[in-house]
Amino acid sequence: MLDAKIPAGPLDDKWSEYKGHCKLVNPANKRKLEVIVIGTGLAGASAAASLGELGYKVKAFCFQDSPRRAHSIAAQGGINAAKNYQNDGDSVFRLFYDTIKGGDYRARESNVHRLSEVSANIIDQCVAQGVPFAREYGGLLSNRSFGGTQVQRTFYAAGQTGQQLLIGAYQALERQVALGNVKMYSRHEMLEIVKIDGKARGIIARDLVSGKLERHFGHAVLLCSGGYGNVFYLSTNAMGSNVTAAWKAHKKGAAFANPCFTQIHPTCIPVSGDHQSKLTLMSESLRNDGRIWVPKKQGDNRKASEIPEEERDYYLERRYPAFGNLVPRDVASRAAKERCDEGFGVGTSKQAVYLDFGAAILRYGKIEAGKEGRDDLDEATIIKLGKEVVKEKYGNLFDMYEKITGENPYEVPMRIYPAVHYTMGGLWVDYELQTNVPGLYALGEANFSDHGANRLGASALMQGLADGYFVIPYTLGNNLAEDIYSNAIETSHPAFAEAEKEVADRINQLMGIKGKQSVESFHKRLGKIMWDKCGMARNEKGLQQAIVEIQALKKEFWSDVKIPGEIDEMNPELDKANRVADFLELGELMCMDALNRKESCGGHFREEYQTPDGEALRDDANFMYVAAWEYKGEHSWELTKEPLVYEVIKPTQRNYK
């Protein structure tokens, strides 16, 4: 039985009551306690900086050469916060409600409400760090809209919000490194959790430059290692993003929750050929001003400029008049797929739709002309003025699109298509962000807790920084208060030796295969299985086939993979092989979870379960739970269900019309 440790009392009071009554560690005792942080993206950097500032002895592990290379920098569009700067009706409750509804009623109320409460603090923290958020003419911070909301609550820094937020967290982290409170281990990868007397007490890490295995003790271990979208091979994730840290914890007893809940982002640059190893995301912020459409005629091969307005189908505006182009990501993605599947797709592949800024450019141009009191300007001049406004708002995104496609989006519409982006599933955690393994925590995208079956845009940055800056300093202290008499355990302890041997044996086994097929080829084949049968749409037959195919692929991998080089040296192919081995096992579990969940909700769309007009059809009577899977051996997992109880929000069929 999993205990979520949700505090008693009214929802609005749970977090303040928790903070008021949780145990504290006094400053002198904090210096005796060691904390390991795996990953230095937004969640990891903010957690390490905060805990270092409090006085804990922190070890931070980064598998890149610098925390500034964390995949968090790729987040473009913004970060949500319930500050109601626009005076348009936003509130903590509204953000909480939108997040629960956006996740299709498959998230835990208490965690989501806490996230909404602390969201405003994040903006204040980041402004104090110097994050250059966009501002209005009068100096107030600017907001824009994102999908699944009817208010403007997304703070942004042009199209590089993730990068600017990460630099802020990185500065805070480096300050603690300079003060000696945090020790940074760059180019190190965690390959095993060390448990002693049932508690997580350390890790085995590999120095990715020398190949040497290292033992590290910690009174607690925090996993901030991001999501697992690269199980699909083609995704918007950085190529290095992987599931290894979370998966090693899973195989040591940590439950993996809702693994089939993966998010498909609707605005990505379409696949252009077999040569690609990743996909590029175009920020959801573009849907503020860009209009999405396809030709009304099937197989229309005319250029976009040759298709008159009356022959264009603005299908999101048609189907969802209340939200239009700003419906949630899962809804927009399925709608694009449906149009393309029906023969209305555009481009050479016909697997794309248009994202058109023509109307926005004209609208902004007229506003600029009005500011100057000019009603005598010709259309070309108005368009020129409008382009300048759009350039100021989205210029770096437009430049990126042109570099990749060779097309100028100021002149012709962008072509977009859905792609794997974020994973809502992750390690199961309780209200304190602790897994079911005592002493082991998961923060940010590595855990499952805040987004249900679909994440709203601009909420990933919010969750990562909320967990690191404002949640874990309280919840970790509440548990470490009982550990102040626990001395550091020497890494000569038998548990460390046994864990290191497990890692070494696994590496030796991989290197000893000496097969003929590259690691990359196995990853590609796994990705195709996952995308075709556990991607934007799933069905029982396809999922059953996928499980069999993945099991066969895993067997082939462990008998015929080729890894050049040696163990005791820098060997990226060996690192990749370790990660793909974990992806193969995760892929199987994802398909099992999707097969078990006989309903559609959010990003999990089972073709057998849909409304007459093609929307996701939930089954609250049988599936209103968190699916937490515990590893029991090869091809074997045990399901534990955490019931989701909604005390404040009453689940209904989602309606964005």
CB 614 within 8 A of CB 569: no
Span 35-61, average pLDDT: 98
Coil, strand or helix at 312: strand
CB 451 within 8 A of CB 103: yes
CB 458 within 8 A of CB 265: no
Predicted pLDDT of residue 272: 85
Give backbone dihedrals phi and psi of 230, rounded to 5 degrees, phi first: -70, 0
Predicted pLDDT of residue 580: 98
Predicted pLDDT of residue 375: 86
CB 283 within 8 A of CB 398: no
Predicted pLDDT of residue 27: 95
CB 410 within 8 A of CB 364: no
Span 276-285, average pLDDT: 92
Predicted pLDDT of residue 530: 98
Span 144-158, average pLDDT: 95
pLDDT tens track for 91-109: 999 999 999 999 999 999 9
Span 60-77, average pLDDT: 96
> What residues contact residue 386 under an 8 Å CB cut-off, 6+ apart?
360, 361, 362, 363, 364, 365, 366, 368
pLDDT at 276 over 90: no
Predicted pLDDT of residue 137: 87
- What proportion of the chain, given as a percentage, has pLDDT over 70? 100
CA distance 248 to 255: 11
Predicted pLDDT of residue 623: 98
pLDDT tens track for 298-312: 999 999 999 999 999
pLDDT tens track for 135-148: 998 999 999 999 99
CB 293 within 8 A of CB 356: yes
pLDDT tens track for 12-31: 999 999 999 999 999 999 99
Q: What's the whole-number average pLDDT of the chain?
A: 97
CA distance 454 to 148: 10
pLDDT at 37 over 90: yes
Between the alpha carbon of residue 154 and those of residues 71, 74, 150, 298, 361, the distances in Å are 20, 16, 11, 37, 22
Amino acid at 525: R
- What proportion of the chain, given as a percentage, has pLDDT over 90? 97
Between the alpha carbon of residue 86 and those of residues 141, 142, 144, 610, 656, the distances in Å are 10, 9, 9, 37, 22
Residue 273 — very low, low, confident or very high, per pLDDT cuts 50/70/90? confident
The dihedral of CA 120, 325, 284, 106: what is its sign?
positive
pLDDT tens track for 352-388: 999 999 999 999 999 999 998 988 899 999 999 999 9
Predicted pLDDT of residue 1: 82
Give backbone dihedrals phi and psi of 373, rounded to 5 degrees, phi first: 65, 30
Q: Residue 163 CB: number of other CB atoms within 10 A?
A: 18
Between the alpha carbon of residue 162 and those of residues 43, 131, 278, the distances in Å are 12, 10, 19
Give backbone dihedrals phi and psi of 23, rounded to 5 degrees, phi first: -75, 150
pLDDT tens track for 310-335: 999 999 999 999 999 999 999 999 99
Count Cα atoms within 13 angstroms, Cβ side, for 277: 9
Span 419-435, average pLDDT: 98
CB 428 within 8 A of CB 256: yes
CA distance 581 to 590: 15
Residue 274 — very low, low, confident or very high, per pLDDT cuts 50/70/90? confident
